Each structure stands twice: as structure tokens, then as C-alpha cells.
Structure 1
Amino acid sequence: MLKAFKYRLKPTTQQAELFAKTFGCVRKVYNLMLHDRIESYKKHQDTGEKIKFPTPAQYKHEFLFLKEVDSLALANAQLHLNAAYRQFFQQPASGFPQWKSRKHPVQSYTTNNQHGTIAIKEGRYLKLPKTEPVRIKLHRQPQGVIKSATISLTACGKYFVSLLCEMNIPPKPKTGSVIGIDLGLTNFAISSDGVKIPNPRTLSKTAVTLAKAQRKLSRRAQHAKKDGRPLSESRNYQKQRILIAKLHEKVSNQRNDFLNKLSTDLINNHDVISVESLNVKGLVRNHKLARSLHDVSWSSFISKLTYKAAWYGKQVVQVERWFPSSQLCSACGHRGGKKALRIREWNCPSCGIHHDRDLNASLNIRAEGLRLLQGAETL
């Protein structure tokens, strides 16, 4: 199994400069390779010429500064571009590979461990290629064999490293429990055993503070423009920009903390977890619900459940999005038709049982998940 361990880095000024150079070189090589592949494809369409797949090495003669940074970081840029193309051809809805911008709030690069080029030294430093050991905040020891390291710079100016390690993860003890989960907005999750988990609404709680901070940022941008100063040289603007980035980072950290704790608790206590596969991209087209849907992060929650289940020997069954979980009676199976969102409780016209809409849906999702699981086992 592969598992990542994330740590905070405290680079010196010289190390931060090298990181900045590497971010820029990786971005440059990625864009050059993307441009050349697009041009090669156009020539292929016009003349039938074979499509060429460029490599980072061919640019080092023209751009000598590429030799100053880690060559494995440039090689990983090629792998990331190939992966982006693969994803585009397999899932066209994901979109064509995009250009990398220096204005993106998060900059990063990945390098591989070859014969100990990435290692923890003295419990306080991280050895990386092309640089002196970097100070690391080692709040826990990485386990297994380090395969690669991804160094990133956030919008707040913080440096992090994610160490990808290959390790043996022991499975969690079996509990014999099967559960169905219906995801919602009022309550984040409603389980088939009757537990309702409230939606933390992390973004909504900070919305007023964020709105005030962003208005202040806009005013400072206008003052800088009026004085003829570029925003990069406006200290007050940059201070406010970092303040807003910290607010967004706090919201993101709170959301991830909630999702990690909830997903880990479900994996610990249940062997089979059945969830609904939701079309979030289609749902956010409803502008009245888009902000709340982005805040609730259903896709991230399902992703965390899936990889943790693979780690610990549990199973996550995703029920197709068209399954009528809210229309079926969990007691007799009668299909009562589509219901408006405002209807939270209803009585089955066939057997007369009173249903809570969300609890009934979770029971139906559990039953459908078991049916899919049994069908897969018989194949």
C-alpha cells in the first residue's frame, strides 16, 4: 500500500529560492511539452506526420537554467502531462490538459527517492536532491519506504512536503456491520441505523468575515491602481491577500478534519458501507444550492472512504445515481414517485408506514448496496 505523510517545512532564504526556481522550471517544461504535443498533433492532422512525444532533456540546450534544478522533478512533469492526456482520453468530461500558471495559489513539484536522496536526518531535517537538508516539523515518524516527495507552497506562503511511502497496513478487525448512508445538506449524513450527523457548514460560518476581508482587498487594489503601483509592490494589498488566504486555509483545514474523523469512524465500526454516487457537477448548476454543495464536499468524503476502505480491508459500495432511494418504501418496496425537496416526511400509500425521507433513503441504499455486493460475489 502507498500512504502519504504530510509535514511543514521551514526552508532558509536560499532553499526557498531554489524551491521557487524548481517550481518555475517544472511549470516551464510542462508548458513547453504541452505546446509541442499540440503542434505535433496539428502536423499529424495536416501531413500525417508521426506524433512526437517531447522529453524535458531536449529543452536543456536552449534553456540552460533547467540544469540548475532537480532533473527528477522535470521528469515527473512529463509523467503528470502523460497522466493528464490519459485522463482526457478516458474521461473527456475531465477536460483537455491545461497550461500551468505562475499565478496559481499553490505551486508544487515532485521528486523521487533514488538510493537515499530523500531521507529524514537527525529527526529535524529532510534531505532533498540539489539542496542542503531542510528543517522539517516532524510531528510523527513516516512509516515504510519513502518513494517520492512532493514539495508545495500554499497561498499563505507556507511550505509543505508530502512523503509517499510504501508500507504494509494491517487490516482493521471485522465488526460484521453493514450500513447505508444518505448524504444531505441539512444533515451531512444520515445512516441506516438512525444516526444523523449535522452539517458543519464551515464556509458559511466564515462567510461574513471573508466578505469584509475581500471588500477591503478590493479597496486596496483600487488605491494601488490609482497610485500607479503594481499589486506585487503594494505591501498593504499583499498583507490583505495573505490574510484572506489564511481564512480560506482555516476553512479547508476544518472541513478536512471533519471529513477525516467521520470517514475513519465509519471504517472502524462497519465492514460494508453503501453510499450513493452523486452527480455533483450537475447539482451545482442549481445556483441556489451551489455554494452549499461546494462547502459540504461530498466527493472528498466518498474519496476518503474509498481509499481508507482499501487500506484497512473494508468495502465501500457505490449505488448508481439514478437509484430511486427517496421514492421507494423501505418496508414494502412501493415506489411513490418523485418528491419535492421540501417534503421531509411521508406516508407509504401501500403499507401506511410513516417515513423520515432521509432515513428511508439510507435504508434503501443499504439494501441496494447489499444486493450489488451479493451480485458481484456470484460472478
Structure 2
Amino acid sequence: MLIAHRIALDPNNAQATYLARAAGTARFAYNWALAEWKRQYEAWKTDNALLKPSQAALRRQLNAIKREQFPWMLEVTKNAPQMAIIQLGDAFKNFFAGRARYPQFRKKGVHDRFTLTNDQFSIDASRIRIPNLGWVRMRETLRFAGKIMSATVSRVADRWFVSITVDTPDSSHLPEAESQGAVGVDLGVSSLATLSTRESIPGPKAHKALLARLRKLSRSLSRKVKGSANRRKAKAKLAKLHARIAAIRSDALHKLTTDLTRRFHTIGIEDLNVCGMVKNRHLARSIADMSFFEVRRQLEYKADMRGGKVVVADRFYASSKTCSACSHKLDSLLLSVREWTCPACGTIHDRDVNAAVNLYKNAVSSTVSACGE
């Protein structure tokens, strides 16, 4: 299985300058190839005798002209422009397969990155050797053993990271899940997750906590003159704060999903319509701050690594409106109602705990049905 390990780099000023130039070269090659792809595709539609554009043809075309037209490309690793065009080809494959939108031009300062193939770099403990640059320090060593496939160097705010993809023979680096049975997990806004064991895990709400500072820095940036040094500094401060918010949120989600997959073999969750939920202008910010889909994504791959299972209830499964004691289903239940009494059996329910218990029962019944018992 393919696993990527993202490690922070510790470059000096000269090395950071090289990384920025390599990322800029990759961005230029991607945008050049996208413009050429559009031009050649329009020409092919009018004259079918011409060849359709492809990433392989565009790479050969760039190699033929870069020494004369773009000599500065030779100052960085050859993988930067070549892999960018290969990624454009993959983007068009996803577009034609209906999995993604039409590729867009890359912007400077937005997801700056470049990719290296496994024959163009080497790793020695906490160092990585990049072509035309030399050894760059990493903040930690590579955790996974196996065949190294590729590495992507990217910038987030003022920090550089390398994501190393490793083809591991199995997932034995993680121990199997403990035998604590199954659990239902109800995701929410007030609490990030409520378990069927009545545990409540609060969310970090990083965006809400730092919203005042975020607004202040955004106003400061909007008042700076475009192209000035002060605007560049203000932009760097705002990017750094956004990176901090993302890091706080990611840390909380990884701790939650790791704990759940370590303890429970079977986890029941809901198939939430997040795109529809964020259309509620009163709750959109809070819902986005919790990252419901990221919780599901992490639970699925971590449970798979530990030999566990994630059971996703149907989107229209009435986990909150169904009594977990007698299975009586209410006709309607307002979102503002946090506690309700079952009219059939008289049981008093906490909304979130009741939903988590129903998700637990659904997960257990799905597992039993799959086993045929």
C-alpha cells in the first residue's frame, strides 16, 4: 500500500530560495502546458489531421525549446517542469472521467510545490538530497519502511515540507485495534463527536477562536498598497495565521481518529451531506470548522490499517429521531431540540447520545449480517 509521510524541512536562506525557484519553475511549466493544450486542442477540433495534445508530447516540446527560450529552467532540477506536465495530464484524465473539474492555471503563492521522482533524490536519516541543491535537513526521519516512490516539496505560509510516498508491503507498522467492540460516533457542532459510550469530545473550533485576529490581519492586508513590501509582510502574517488554524484543526482530528481506531474494531458513522449543511448561513462557519468529511476520511484509512471497519449509515437514516430504546420514530425533530422524550416508552434522550447509540446498533447489525450469523 502507498503511504505518504509529510515532514517539515529546515532549509537555510539559500536553500529556501532554490526551493521557491523550483516551485516557480513547476508552476510556469504547468501553466505553459495548459495554454498549449488548449491551443492544440482547438486546432485539432478544426483539423483532425493534427495530433491531439498529450502530456508526453508537451514534455518533448518543452525539452526542445527550453534551452533557448527558458534557460533559467536548467538552474533547478529537471523533475520540476516535467512532473508538473505529467500532473497536468493526470488532471485531464480525471476531468474526462468526470472525477474533477477542468484544470485551472496555478497562481503564485497558492500551493507552491514541485515533485521529484525516486531516482532524483535520496534520504539519509534526517536529511534529503535534492538535485542541484544538496542535502537539506528534515525535522524527523522517515517513519515507514519500503520502496520510496516520490517526494513532493511544498510551501505552507513561510514553512517548507516534503511529502515522501512509500510503497509499504503491509500495514504492520500499526498494531491491531483493541477488542473494545463497536462504537457509534455522532458528529456535531457543539461537540466534535459524541460516542455511544456517552463520551463527548469537544472540537478545537480554531477558526472561531482566532476569528478576531483573522479579521484584523485581513483588514490590514486590504489597506496595503499592491506590490509594496508592507503588503508582502501583511500577506505573510495572514498566511501564517491560516496555517496555524489548519494545524490546530488537523492535530485534533488526528488525535480523535487515532484514538477511535485504536480502541474500537467497528465504528458506525453517518453519511452526512456536508455540502447541503453549509448552505445554512447560521451554521456554515461552525460546520466547516469541524471538518466532518476529513473525520470520515481519516477513520476509514486508519481503520483499514488496523484491521478495523467503518460502517457508514445511509444519508436518510433517522439516527436522531429514532428512539434507541424502543425504535419509535418521530415525525419531525427540530435542530434546536437537544433533549426529547419518547412518546411510546417515555425514555428521555439526549439528542447526540441517542443518535450515537442508533449508529452503534446499525454498525453491529451490519457486521452480523455480513458474517451471516
| Fold-level similarity (TM above 0.5) | yes
Is 1:32 the counterpart of 2:32? The answer is yes
Considering only aligned residues, what root-mean-square deviation do their CA atoms show, in Å?
2.4
Q: Which residue of 2 aligns with 1:112?
A: 117
What is the one-letter code of the residue matched to 2:309?
Q
For residues 203 and 144 of structure 2, the distance between their equivalents in structure 1, rounded to whole angstroms, comes to 34
Q: Which residue of 2 aligns with 1:227?
A: none
After TM superposition, give the deviation of residue 172 of structure 1 in Å: 1.5
After TM superposition, give the deviation of residue 374 of structure 1 in Å: 4.2
Is 1:58 the counterpart of 2:61? The answer is yes
After TM superposition, give the deviation of residue 20 of structure 1 in Å: 2.4
Secondary structure at 1:38 match in 2: helix
TM (norm. structure 1) is: 0.86
What is the one-letter code of the residue matched to 2:216?
K
Is 1:163 the counterpart of 2:164? The answer is yes
Residues 228-377 of structure 1 aligned to structure 2 (within 5 Å): 230-231=226-227, 234-377=228-371
Provide Cα deviations, 1:310-339, integer angstroms capped at 9, x if missing partner: 222111122222222122222222221231
After TM superposition, give the deviation of residue 76 of structure 1 in Å: 2.8
Please list every run of 5 or more consecutive structure 1 residues that lacks an aligned counterpart in the other structure: 225-229
Equivalent pair of 2:126/2:139 in contact (CA under 8 Å): yes
For residues 86 and 348 of structure 1, the distance between their equivalents in structure 2, rounded to whole angstroms, comes to 52
Q: Which residue of 1 aligns with 2:103?
A: 97
For residues 358 and 336 of structure 2, the distance between their equivalents in structure 1, rounded to whole angstroms, comes to 20
Match 1:82 to one of 86, 89, 111: 89
Change (3 A) 1:249 1:369: same
TM (norm. structure 2) is: 0.88
Q: Which residue of 2 aligns with 1:127?
A: 129
For residues 121 and 287 of structure 2, the distance between their equivalents in structure 1, rounded to whole angstroms, comes to 39
- Structure 1 stretch displaced more, 126-135 or 270-279: 126-135
Provide Cα deviations, 1:156-207, integer angstroms capped at 9, x if missing partner: x211112222334324144151111110001111111111112221111111
Change (3 A) 1:374 1:36: farther
For residues 334 and 93 of structure 2, the distance between their equivalents in structure 1, rounded to whole angstroms, comes to 40
Secondary structure at 2:219 match in 1: helix
Equivalent pair of 2:177/2:263 in contact (CA under 8 Å): no
Equivalent pair of 2:203/2:290 in contact (CA under 8 Å): yes
What is the one-letter code of the residue matched to 2:135?
P
Secondary structure at 2:6 match in 1: strand
What is the one-letter code of the residue matched to 2:301?
Y
- Structure 1 stretch displaced more, 43-52 or 362-371: 43-52
Change (3 A) 1:42 1:209: same
Is 1:136 the counterpart of 2:138? The answer is yes
For residues 184 and 330 of structure 2, the distance between their equivalents in structure 1, rounded to whole angstroms, comes to 21
For residues 31 and 141 of structure 1, the distance between their equivalents in structure 2, rounded to whole angstroms, comes to 32
Equivalent pair of 2:149/2:164 in contact (CA under 8 Å): yes
Secondary structure at 1:133 match in 2: strand
Equivalent pair of 1:142/1:165 in contact (CA under 8 Å): no
Change (3 A) 1:34 1:235: closer
Q: Which residue of 2 aligns with 1:175?
A: 179
